[in-house]
Every structure is written in structure tokens, then in C-alpha cells.
Structure 1
């Protein structure tokens, strides 16, 4: 089929640029960082599902809370792209983003992000409670001001501290149901917090040249590949017991603990492979099958499966 539509009565003389219109829509969606949003939405949903009283919550309000989490994450992503447009332009994996590629004006992207930020927080407040809205606003502010504008370009610890921004969604989901924050959402926060460094540093080993070109002080750039691989191992070791914490405090059953232990052992195996791999030293680039790439991919599987197991366990044994 043609990529264009025809004006009625024009005999095909005046095609409308439907394909162009759709590409513009895709550009606005790309500003929201949909791949990152999927993980945010999922962890927020798990926080909501495991909260006491979740099964009694109005499904419309529950869906609205998840929508607000998604929109807020997208809003923060859009503002991040607006602020980082200069370094995005010199990094291969980001140069084709809508702003550095000239498809969306920076001011328009900023306005888009600001409106979505305000709208998501206000709607969360109206649909659920002030606690959920406050944590949602805090998560946006932390990602934009603390991570994007302050830490990212100043310290190799940007991912460690800034990782807190991505750890808020399960807390928000829990607060949307209960109106408060207790030990369990803090433990879910901690899981994502300790998961973020090995996840992102494995990626940064792969994207070392991009970060060096852009002058972003990621750990491989400032401390070298060997130290980064060591830190991936350290944080993975710390993550494994944190992943077991919901069981340790009696919130989940032994079934969840078994899943967490298996996943933790698999993550440790990947981290150990990264630690032992020296192909990224002496300026050499990683191959496509490098352990760092495999570790990054598995880290995504780890978090999705771990949180899915927590939700399934709670719904089956503790609701």
C-alpha cells in the first residue's frame, strides 16, 4: 500500500504525507524513552500489586496510578533529552534522537516534558493520595535536577546516587494503594538501587567510546575498564542478599526466596565473567559476544523476573 493518502476528489493529484505525520508522532513518543518506561511501569505495577489492600482498590484508580507513573517517567525522559542534547549529538547511540537530529525543537521538548510532569503529579494526587503524588514529584525532580543536571556530568558516581531516580516506582505504586511508605517498598527501592550500578556499568563498558567522546565521566572513562569490572562484581555481590530481603523480613514465601537465589547465582556468574574478561583493556573495543553485553542483557531479565516472582508470590500466598 502507498505511504500517502489522497485528497477526496483530487484524482490522486495531492497526496497527504501520512508517513511523515506518523514519523513525527514516533519522534514525540521517542522523547518519552519508552524502553526505559516499560521497566518503570512494571516495577510501579508490582509495588501496587503487593501493597495491602491492592485487590480492593478501584481498578480504574489503579490503572490511573500506573498511567501517572508512566507519564511521569516519560516526562523526566523528555526533559533529560532536552538538557543532554549537546552530548547526545556526539554519541553514536544517541545522535539520532529527535532533538540532536533536528526533528523536534529543544523548547518544544522542554515544554512537553514540563506539562507532562505537572499533569501526572496533579492527576496522581486527585486519583489516589498526596503521598503517592509527593513521591512521584520527588522522583521527577531527582532524575532531572540531581541526576541529569548535577551528577551525570560531574562524577563517576552519577549512576550510584542517580540510580535512586529509577528506584522510586515501586514506592509510588505502594503509596498509591496505602497512602504511606513502610519497610517493604523501601526494600523494593533498595533492590533497584543496588541493581542499577552493575546493570549500567556493564552497558558503559560497551559504550565506553561514546561516553569518552562526550566527556561524560562514567566509571570506565575515569577509572578504567578493570576498576569498572571490579565494581560490577562488588555491587552484584551486594545485590544478591538485598534481593532476598523480602523473604528475610517475612513478606514473601520460600518460593520467592528460591527464585531470588537462582537469579542471584546467575547474575553472579555473569558478573564473574565480566570481572575475568580483559578484552576491553589497552584501548581495545568489546566484541559483540563480550561478557559485559551478556551481563547487561541478563540484568534486565533479573529485575523483571525477580519482581514478577515477588508479585506472584504475594498474590498467591500473602494477599
Structure 2
């Protein structure tokens, strides 16, 4: 009986330990979820090429690591504040109803504190390990996205995506500034590419979740205008993205950019534009618009374009 009792006690203790471990893991994952890791990944894709272009090759590993960590913390902070301020409308949208602040996994006060901790950490790290300009740009991007975009533009104008494109492209400038302590025309061009790219990218997503945005009374472009208008504007911005991407060759020849980048930029740009036109054609025909096809192509386009910059800068 004693042995049986001991085994029972041991099993119960192990069960409690396992339960506590699972609870801690769930809590950590909830806080990570507030930072929107998938969006951060996309932002960092544009940081590394900007740094390599500025350094005319590989920057030092320590600088690269510090910038990526600082950039991750900054982007995470902005996303946490976004979740905090948007918790009212996130409850109304099926796409966002499982976010930690909506489910109650994280309290609003805890999220706000977490956001401030990430903000201070990111700015301090970038200032100490990279340059003051990079730290200042990160601070400005956090404020812009968390306050101006989330609290003002997103709720009050159909042009919120255009306004939101500024902090979305900021990692390019932060990465460049981390290497050089200044800004130059190649950084401005890559910034402009990422800025223009965001319109067809996010409008495709907004077309897919139009009813969600309408339910939350968020005046995203697909909510306040026709799908045909969204399709036409997506085509225009896709063409603008490609046109701006081709400007990198003449302004960045001194940084190693040549045909090794330009030829892939033309081919990838053609793919991107064709997919935008296909979306417009489906809209005109009626029926299933399949906007997520453009959404996924846009992600591949940007990632491969950044790879082309990296390869040409190295070679």
C-alpha cells in the first residue's frame, strides 16, 4: 500500500509540474502572439538587403545581429500597441477573434507594459550597438504605426493602407542607417519599392476579409468602394512598384547593383503585374475573385526581389 501511495503521489506531482509547464508555455506564446511574428518576418526580409547594400557586401555579424534583434523588438512593440488599441474591433472580426487580448490570455495592462518594455529595449539596443539615427528611425516607426496609423488613419480614412505603408517600409531605412549612420538614394529607392508594394499586397487581403472590416466599421478601401476600383488601383500600384524597383540600378551602381539585380527585377515585376491584372480580370468577370492569389504572389515577389539585391551586392 505504501508503494502504491508513493506512486500515486509522484504521478500527481508530475501532473502538476506538467500543468504548470503547459500554462507557462501558453502564456509565453500569448505574449509572442501579440508581436505578430509572421509580420515581423516579412519586415526583416527587407532589412538585411538594405544593410548589405549599404555595406557593399556583408556587414559585421555583430552589427547584423544587433540590428535584426533591435528591429524585431521595435516591430514587436509596434504590433503589441496595435493589438492593444485595436482590441475593441478585433472582437468583431473573425480573423482576429483569437488574438490574446480578445481571448483574455493577456490583460490590456500587461500588454501595454509589454509594449513599453519592447520599445525601450529596442531603442536602447539600437542606440548602443548601431547608430543613433537607426534608433531614432525605429522610435519614429513605432510611434507612427501605434498611434498615427492604428488610432487615426485606420479608423478614419480609406487611405489608411497608403499611410500605413510608411512604417511598413521603415526597416529598410533602419537597416541602412545602422550601417552608415546616414541615408542615401539607394535606401530611399528600396524604401519606395516596399512602400508601393504594400498597396496591392494588403488590398488583396482586405478583399478577402472585406466583411470582417465592414463588421468592425473599419473603412478599408474594399469596404468603401467597389471591387473594380480596388482592382484597378492594385494594378496601378503594382506597376508603380516595378517602375520604382528598376530605379535601383542607376542610383546604386556604386553599391554593386547591375544586371544581376535588374534582370530578375524585370522578370519578377512582370509576374507581379500579370497577377494584379489577373485579379482585375476576375473582378470584371464576377464570381470568385480569388484575391489571395495576388496576396501570396506579392510575398514571393518581394522576397525574391530582396534576394536579387543580396546576390548582386555580394557578387
TM-score normalized by the length of structure 1: 0.91
Deviations 1:33-89 (A, max 9, x none): 00000011121122111113664x442232111100011001100010000001111
Larger radius of gyration: 2
Which residue does the alignment assign to 1:309?
308
Q: Tell me, yes or no, if the aligned pair for 2:56 and 2:313 is still in contact at 8 Å.
A: no
Residue 158 of structure 2: aligned partner: 156
Corresponding position of 1:48 = 51
Listed one character per residue, the Cα deviations across residues 191-247 of structure 1 (whole Å, up to 9, x for unaligned) are: 011000000001111110100001000011101211111111111111111111111
Give 2:106's aligned residue. Answer: 104
1:190 matched to which residue of 2? 192
| RMSD, aligned α-carbons | 1.8
* Aligned 1:229-244 pairs, distance under 5 A: 229-244=231-246
User: Within the alignment, does 1:261 sit opposite 2:266 as a pair?
Assistant: yes
Assess if the C-alpha contact under 8 Å between 1:92 and 1:210 holds in 2: yes
Asked whether 1:213 is paired with 2:215, we answer: yes
Q: Work out the CA distance in 2 between the residues paired with 1:8 and 1:303.
A: 58
TM-score (norm 2): 0.92
- How many aligned residue pairs are there? 303
Taking a change above 3 Å as real, the CA distance of residues 137 and 8 of structure 1, as seen in their structure-2 partners, is farther
Counterpart of 2:142 in structure 1 is: 140
Select which of 43, 59, 63 maps to 1:61: 63
Contact 2:80–2:112 (CA<8 Å) still a contact in 1?
yes
Q: Determine if contact 1:47/1:170 at 8 Å carries over to the other structure.
A: yes
Confirm or deny: 8 A CA contact 1:78 1:109 kept in the other structure. yes
Separation (CA, whole Å) in 1 of partners of 2:297 and 2:138:
28
- For structure 1, the 5+ residue unaligned runs are 1-6
Separation in 2 of the partners of 1:149 and 1:161?
Answer: 12
Report how far residue 126 of structure 1 moved. Answer: 0.7
1:30 paired with 2:29, answer no
